[in-house]
């Protein structure tokens, strides 16, 4: 069912604090590579050397994250970006390997290298790649992770801003459409009461109270994004009862609801324009006419069906057309890919068949 979706702490909607927590988590995770690499290749770095390498690595990570990626990579200066990171890779690999690594491979490793590379004059030369390779991998990991994380953060922020702009646009348009719909309904209802007052009908006071309940609902409930379907149906019932006050014995109104509306929520005032239209164009007090309204409700969908006789059309009512047009726009905005609407004429009757797919909890 359509509801405000509560905020979940997901990767797609993470706060700035959480993003920076992830940033630091992955960053410090990379530094586990330092002692592990030293252990496997036999480096005997001092604590001071590891600390200095950590500081340099910290600088490489955030230099790429805050400066190189946003100013070069994201602005599509790809050649310059790869030149800069290549220089960083070469320079710091040389510095780390020659000034901070005290390379003393295990005896077993020396023997393996000597057997496999007997032509080498010095066994240590056979360990050349073992001396530089860990630093190359470490620096590449820092550059790659900082670039990927920055790209993700920028993409996520851009996506959220786009969604917020679309949401604001939708809310503004919906409020505008609803503001146009309310006066249209109000004046139609006043016409009904006015006709009763002209006839000095005893039903006038009942109609005024009925309209008061309807307007109270419209003033206090329809400002919400969604309302309970049960309340919307009560509003429709009150409207039908108000309209019945002006009908004659020639007119028949059948209203039916099947299914359980409890707990279902929908945007307000989605159906009233169809019902107004049926009363306006389908009822004639001088001839036999009938309106049939049915709601079929399930957990997955709402089916709204209405059929009315087609009587001689009065002069085109611009306000009535506006109300129907606004309703169709609101349905399209609220249910962009989850509704079907069929309208057709058959045997001098006008049919409306609206189906709304609901989001399940």
Domain ranges, ordered by start, for the chain: 11-162, 201-357
Per-residue pLDDT at 184: 64
Per-residue pLDDT at 307: 97
How many other CB atoms are there within 10 angstroms of residue 312's CB atom? 7
Q: Which of 3.90.76.10, 3.30.565.10, 3.30.160.270, 3.40.50.300 would CATH assign to domain 201-357?
A: 3.30.565.10
CA distance 72 to 77: 5
Digitized pLDDT (tens) for each residue of the chain, 361 residues in all? 443 333 333 334 445 566 666 666 766 666 665 555 555 555 555 556 777 777 888 889 889 989 999 999 999 999 999 999 999 999 998 888 777 655 555 555 555 555 555 554 444 544 555 667 778 888 898 899 889 888 888 888 888 888 887 777 767 766 676 666 567 667 777 887 888 888 888 888 888 888 888 888 877 887 788 999 999 999 999 989 988 887 888 899 999 999 999 999 999 889 988 998 898 888 887 888 999 999 999 989 999 999 999 986 555 555 455 667 878 888 988 898 899 999 999 999 999 999 999 976 5
CB 321 within 8 A of CB 188: no
Per-residue pLDDT at 122: 47
CA distance 168 to 174: 10
- Locate 254 and state its tokens: 């059948």
Chain centroid to CA 213: how far? 35
Per-residue pLDDT at 249: 87
Give pTM, 2 decimals: 0.56
CA distance 26 to 20: 10
CA distance 360 to 331: 18
């Amino acid at each position: 069912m359509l509801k405000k979706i509560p905020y979940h702490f997901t990767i797609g909607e993470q706060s700035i604090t959480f993003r920076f927590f992830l940033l630091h988590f992955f960053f410090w995770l990379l530094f586990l590579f330092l002692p592990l690499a030293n252990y496997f290749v036999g480096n005997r770095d001092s604590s001071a050397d590891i600390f200095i390498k950590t500081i340099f690595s910290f600088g490489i990570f955030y230099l790429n994250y805050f400066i190189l990626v946003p100013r070069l990579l994201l602005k599509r200066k790809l050649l310059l970006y790869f030149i800069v990171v290549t220089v960083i890779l070469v320079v710091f690999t040389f510095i780390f390997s020659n000034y901070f690594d005290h390379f003393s491979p295990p005896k077993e490793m020396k023997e393996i290298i000597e057997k496999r590379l007997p032509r080498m004059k010095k066994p240590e030369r056979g360990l050349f790649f073992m001396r530089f390779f860990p630093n190359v991998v470490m620096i590449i990991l820092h550059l790659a992770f900082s670039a990927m994380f920055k790209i993700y953060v920028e993409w996520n922020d851009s996506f959220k801003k786009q969604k917020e702009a679309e949401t604001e646009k939708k809310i503004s348009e919906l409020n505008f459409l609803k503001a146009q719909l309310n006066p249209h309904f109000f004046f139609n209802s006043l016409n009904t009461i006015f006709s009763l007052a002209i006839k000095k009908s005893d039903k006038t006071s009942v109609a005024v109270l009925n309209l008061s309940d309807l307007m109270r609902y419209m003033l206090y409930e329809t400002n919400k994004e969604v309302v309970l379907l049960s309340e919307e149906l009560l509003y429709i019932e009150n409207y039908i009862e108000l309209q019945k006050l002006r009908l004659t014995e020639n007119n028949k109104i059948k209203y039916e609801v099947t299914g359980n509306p409890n707990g279902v929520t929908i945007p307000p005032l989605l159906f009233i324009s169809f019902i107004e239209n049926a009363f306006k164009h389908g009822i004639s007090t001088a001839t036999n006419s009938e309106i049939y309204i049915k709601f079929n409700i399930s957990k997955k969908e709402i089916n709204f069906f209405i059929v009315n006789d087609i009587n001689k059309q009065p002069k085109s009512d611009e306000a009535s057309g506006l109300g129907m047009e606004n309703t169709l726009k609101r349905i399209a905005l609220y249910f962009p890919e989850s509704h079907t609407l069929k309208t057709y004429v058959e045997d001098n009757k006008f049919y409306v068949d609206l189906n709304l797919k609901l989001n399940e909890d």
